[in-house]
């Protein structure tokens, strides 16, 4: 081959390598921009964390079975009254007696159920649409912030509210799941911590940890806007109260295994016959710090669709 004449095969190979390098650089730039957009920087501690914005894959967390002490010791109530500045011991009365509970392994939704998820449910189950749901299964507030079958603009990732307990059970069944029990919820909310007041520990509630009354939003925030607990669960304190499977009943001092007040996990249509109040947990955007405690209990009528109550689902390990 004469000097100065380029081998066409070698020349083509060099061109291919150069073009590939340019394409790879472009892909890297696009990836970097995407990561930047998905993980916006917080400009101050007063802003909610951006946890969950990317993944929000509606996944579940496996909670391993365990034995733990559920509730609050009666001797602790005077101290709690001082800490939370309540001169009403009855506020804590439902948390006693503290008792030993054993639960089996289960799965729990990482996030509260959102408007966009619930919209898919009513699209596939027209009997639960606002225009179709029988009056005995709600109180007149059912999805009242929606426009027909459409949730409020810009709130796809907010927890669904103004749903009744019946609708929450129906959703979970449709998703192949169920509502968590009160014992499951309390153990999961602790996030692996023992004898702590909140999902994050004993540090006082503030607006970087949860959406509650002092956050001053006076409404829901997108799920996963605050740091998760030790099990990777979001909004176990604040945002919305969460419906549970349990009937509202006082605790007993006896040791229990997989308790559920009322004795029913509602994996069939028996939930449609329920008339008694159900347990709710976790506090909400309008709640006080005391409501955010992992042991705090409250109750709600099953038809009581309100703008501060939502839910998440659980699933038994087969």
Structural domain range at position 247? 60-316
Answer whether residue 163 is part of any domain.
yes
> Is there a single domain that holds both residue 213 and residue 309?
yes
Look at residue 86 in the predicted model and tell me its pLDDT: 86
- State the distance between the two ends of the chain, measured CA to CA, in whole angstroms: 73
For 12-60, the pLDDT digits (tens) are 434 444 444 444 344 333 333 332 232 232 222 222 322 222 233 359 9
Phi, psi of 19 (to 5 degrees): -65, -40
> Is there a single domain that holds both residue 27 and residue 88?
no
> Is there a single domain that holds both residue 140 and residue 265?
yes
- What integer best gives the mean pLDDT of the chain? 86
Answer whether residue 53 is part of any domain.
no
> Is there a single domain that holds both residue 16 and residue 89?
no
pTM equals 0.82
Look at residue 307 in the predicted model and tell me its pLDDT: 98
Answer whether residue 277 is part of any domain.
yes
DSSP string, the chain: --TTPPPHHHHHHHHHHHHHHHHHHHHHHHHHHHHHHHSPPPSSTTSPP-TTTTT----EEEE--EEEEES--GGGHHHHHHHHT---THHHHTT-S-EEEEE--EEEESSPPBHHHHHHHHHH-GGGSTTTS-GGG--S-TTTTSBTTBPPTT-TTSBP-S--HHHHHHHHHHTT-BPPPHHHHHHHHHTT-SS-SBTTBSSPP-TTT--SGGG---S---TT-S---TTS---SSSSSEEEEEEE-----SS-EES--TTS----SGGGGG--S-EEEES--TT--GGGGSTT--EEE-TT---TTEE---EEE--
Look at residue 10 in the predicted model and tell me its pLDDT: 38
Answer whether residue 48 is part of any domain.
no
Look at residue 21 in the predicted model and tell me its pLDDT: 43
The verdict on whether omega for the bond into residue 97 sits within 30 degrees of 0, i.e. cis, is: yes
Residues of the chain with pLDDT under 70: 1-58
> Is there a single domain that holds both residue 34 and residue 174?
no
Q: How many domains does the chain have?
A: 2
> Is there a single domain that holds both residue 34 and residue 75?
no
Answer whether residue 44 is part of any domain.
no
> Is there a single domain that holds both residue 108 and residue 147?
yes
Structure tokens belonging to residue 295: 């042991």
Answer whether residue 55 is part of any domain.
no
Of 183, 205, 175, 202, which Cα lies nearest the Cα of 113? 175
Look at residue 58 in the predicted model and tell me its pLDDT: 54
Look at residue 140 in the predicted model and tell me its pLDDT: 98
Answer whether residue 132 is part of any domain.
yes
Residue with tokens 């009354």: 213
**Residue 280 and residue 243 in contact, taking contact as beta carbons nearer than 8 Å:** yes
> Is there a single domain that holds both residue 204 and residue 281?
yes
> Is there a single domain that holds both residue 242 and residue 287?
yes
Can you name the residues that pair with 57 across neighbouring β-strands? none
> Is there a single domain that holds both residue 175 and residue 96?
yes
Strands 106-109 and 314-316: antiparallel
> Is there a single domain that holds both residue 2 and residue 137?
no
> CATH code at 132?
3.90.1580.10
Answer whether residue 54 is part of any domain.
no
> Is there a single domain that holds both residue 12 and residue 85?
no
């Amino acid at each position: 081959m004469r000097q100065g004449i380029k081998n066409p095969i070698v020349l083509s190979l060099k061109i291919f390598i150069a073009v590939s390098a340019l394409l790879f650089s472009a892909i890297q730039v696009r990836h970097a921009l995407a990561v930047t957009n998905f993980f916006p920087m917080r400009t101050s501690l007063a802003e909610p964390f951006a946890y969950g914005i990317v993944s929000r894959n509606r996944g579940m967390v496996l909670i391993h079975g365990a034995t733990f002490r559920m509730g609050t010791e009666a001797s602790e109530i005077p101290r709690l009254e001082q800490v939370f500045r309540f001169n009403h011991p009855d506020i804590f009365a439902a948390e006693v007696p503290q008792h030993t509970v054993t639960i089996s392994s289960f799965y729990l939704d990482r996030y509260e159920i959102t408007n966009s998820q619930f919209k898919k449910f009513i699209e596939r189950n027209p009997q639960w649409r606002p225009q179709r749901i029988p009056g005995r299964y709600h109180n007149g507030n059912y999805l009242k912030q929606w426009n027909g079958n459409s949730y409020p603009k810009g709130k796809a990732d907010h927890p669904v509210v103004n749903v009744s307990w019946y609708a929450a059970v129906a959703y979970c069944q449709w998703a192949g799941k169920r509502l968590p029990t009160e014992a499951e919820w309390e153990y999961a909310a602790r996030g692996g911590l023992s004898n702590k007041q909140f999902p994050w520990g004993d540090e006082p509630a503030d607006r970087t940890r949860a959406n509650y009354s002092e956050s001053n939003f006076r409404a829901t925030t997108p799920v996963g806007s605050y740091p998760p607990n030790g099990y990777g669960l979001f909004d176990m304190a604040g945002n919305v109260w969460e419906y549970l499977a349990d009937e509202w009943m006082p605790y007993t001092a006896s040791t229990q295994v997989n308790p559920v007040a009322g004795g029913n996990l509602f994996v069939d249509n028996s939930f449609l016959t329920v008339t008694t109040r159900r347990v709710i947990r976790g506090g909400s955007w309008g709640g006080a710090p005391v409501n955010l405690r992992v042991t705090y209990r409250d109750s709600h009528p099953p038809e009581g669709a309100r703008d501060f109550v939502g839910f998440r689902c659980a699933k038994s390990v087969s």
